[in-house]
Amino acid sequence: MSITQDLSGGPALTQERRVVTEIPGPKSRELMARKQAAVADGVGAVLPVFVERAGGAVIEDVDGNRLIDFGSGIAVTSVGNSAEAVVRRATEQLHRFTHTCAMVTPYEGYVAVCEELAAVTPGDHAKKSALFNSGAEAVENAVKIARTHTGRQAIVVFEHGYHGRTNLTMALTAKNMPYKHGFGPFAPEIYRVPVAYPYRWLTGAENCAQEAADQVIDHITKQIGAENTAAVIIEPLLGEGGFIEPARGFLPRIAEFARENGIVFVADEIQSGFCRTGQWFACDDEGVVPDLITTAKGIAGGMPLAAVTGRAEIMDSAHTGGLGGTYGGNPVACAAALGAIETMRELDLAARARRIEEVMKPRLLQLAEEFPAIGEVRGRGAMLAVELVRPGSKEPDAELTAAVARRCHQAGLLVLTCGTYGNVLRFLPPLVIGEELLNEGIDILREAFAAA
């Protein structure tokens, strides 16, 4: 199967790269001066071009440059930017009503999204959902639900984990800079344990799954007390922390330990979910069925929406009125989500994510042979990355990572970096990207490595 362009039935924007000024161009630089005067410095910009419009896998800036999008707004526009079904359904909804507050007078779209979530998330048990605005809010609510369900307080999270920027989710997030630095004190009763990171496991990748799981279980039973532990929260494919795939066998073992000890196993699939890794959810790869799953990013084609979905008996343990928020499950965002999910089904975007891996991974592996600074190529589906190190060692090379990203940007390819050590280039193209554009992006990446 090949990927053709304009899969979503016609992003108006021609799917081509076009660089007509230096990047950022003069109009973007002017706007950046206004941004600096009016917007708080804490809000950064990875690529300081200002967007005029975007469609499919292309972003056009105010100077007329067209960038290939290997970021999808951080794994959000998986169905492509301004995907037809998303725009159509959201527009219809905008004309019918914009808001009533789902907690005041409900509407069908909210229920329909929860029905879809029950259908597509792992496991065939009875499921219920609650909708929110952001990923962090979903994670916070998963914690509320797990605590009230178990009557326990401790929450276990993992090294290199990322769960958001609110106070509770900062505490759950591993990396200090930029997410937490100076923003404490953080919420109590959060415990961080090792994750099975094969590339950096000291006794070797082959021992990683078992040793890491042993350490986690030991830590929970001996230092926290399994009977005090409400939830274990893990990204089945870690995002911000460096696109780390936990060694196979690690997740099932942690899930089994949780089940045996009445601990709620929460999969944070906010970045990895909704076809991104070549399945509906990354958990599906090892047949792991989480008790609760948090979703956001890919769910609504760019509109703000997030969810907690899980076993009905766990979800129902919060008292009526205990969950919610003014905007949670906004009707326009719900309509957009229904359009995004429809697009994922109709175009079989999970298969397209697998095809992206088929095209990209061999080429990235080839780059790794050519450039010894690439220590590892990893990821699944359209959630791929390279980790950069000083040749001959595993010493992280964040400077080279930033330099390669900068060169890609200047050539009209939007790539993002990540990783606890800032040394991972990650690739998150929209799943509807055409194969030509995909290959052109990798050509640019190769040139960037050669030049940097």
Ligand X SMILES: *Cc1c(COP(=O)(O)O)cnc(C)c1O
User: Binding to ligand X by residue 134, rule CB under 6 A?
Assistant: yes
User: What is the x/- site pattern for ligand X, positions 56-95, by CB under 6 A?
Assistant: ----------------------------------------
Number of residues counted as binding ligand X (CB under 6 A):
15
Instruction: Considering only the stretches 23-31, 194-202, 233-241, 329-337, report the one whose residues sit in contact with ligand X under the rule CB under 6 A.
Output: 233-241
CA distances from 190 to 224, 251, 269, 401 (A): 10, 20, 20, 31
356 neighbors 382 (Cβ within 8 angstroms) = yes
Q: Smaller CB distance to ligand X: residue 156 or 296? A: 296
User: What is the x/- site pattern for ligand X, positions 273-302, by CB under 6 A?
Assistant: -----------------------xx-----
Which one among 268, 291, 376, 387 touches ligand X, defined by CB under 6 A?
Answer: 268
Place of tokens 């780059």: 367
- Using CA atoms, how far apart are residues 348 and 352, in angstroms rounded to an integer? 7
Q: Smaller CB distance to ligand X: residue 66 or 297? A: 297
Other beta carbons less than 10 A from residue 43's beta carbon:
7
Which one among 5, 82, 271, 279 touches ligand X, defined by CB under 6 A?
Answer: 271
Residues 6+ apart with CB under 8 A from 246: 195, 196, 197, 209, 212, 234, 236, 237, 238
Other beta carbons less than 10 A from residue 368's beta carbon:
17
Place of tokens 């309509």: 335
User: Binding to ligand X by residue 235, rule CB under 6 A?
Assistant: yes
User: Binding to ligand X by residue 253, rule CB under 6 A?
Assistant: no
Instruction: Considering only the stretches 58-66, 124-132, 210-218, 263-271, report the one whose residues sit in contact with ligand X under the rule CB under 6 A.
Output: 263-271
Written as six digits, the tokens of 429 are: 């193209």
User: What is the x/- site pattern for ligand X, positions 376-415, by CB under 6 A?
Assistant: ----------------------------------------
CA 39 to chain centre: 25
Q: Smaller CB distance to ligand X: residue 73 or 109? A: 73
| Shortest CB 211 distance to ligand X, Å | 24
Instruction: Considering only the stretches 131-139, 184-192, 316-324, 339-347, report the one whose residues sit in contact with ligand X under the rule CB under 6 A.
Output: 131-139
305 neighbors 296 (Cβ within 8 angstroms) = yes
User: Binding to ligand X by residue 308, rule CB under 6 A?
Assistant: no
User: Using CA of residue 322, residue 152, residue 139, residue 284, what is the dihedral sign?
Assistant: negative
86 neighbors 303 (Cβ within 8 angstroms) = yes
User: Binding to ligand X by residue 139, rule CB under 6 A?
Assistant: yes
| Shortest CB 308 distance to ligand X, Å | 12
User: Binding to ligand X by residue 150, rule CB under 6 A?
Assistant: no
Q: Which residue is nearest to ligand X (CB)?
A: 135
Q: Smaller CB distance to ligand X: residue 15 or 271? A: 271
| Shortest CB 431 distance to ligand X, Å | 17
Comparing CA positions, the residue from 394, 440, 402, 450 lying closest to residue 422 is: 402
- Using CA atoms, how far apart are residues 49 and 66, in angstroms rounded to an integer? 11
| Shortest CB 385 distance to ligand X, Å | 14
Q: Smaller CB distance to ligand X: residue 11 or 298? A: 298
What are phi and psi for residue 65, nearest 5 degrees?
-75, 140
Comparing CA positions, the residue from 272, 277, 308 lying closest to residue 291 is: 308
User: Binding to ligand X by residue 336, rule CB under 6 A?
Assistant: no
User: What is the x/- site pattern for ligand X, positions 160-199, by CB under 6 A?
Assistant: --xxx-----------------------------------
User: Binding to ligand X by residue 239, rule CB under 6 A?
Assistant: yes
- Interface residue list for ligand X (CB under 6 A): 134-136, 139, 162-164, 235, 239-240, 268, 270-271, 296-297
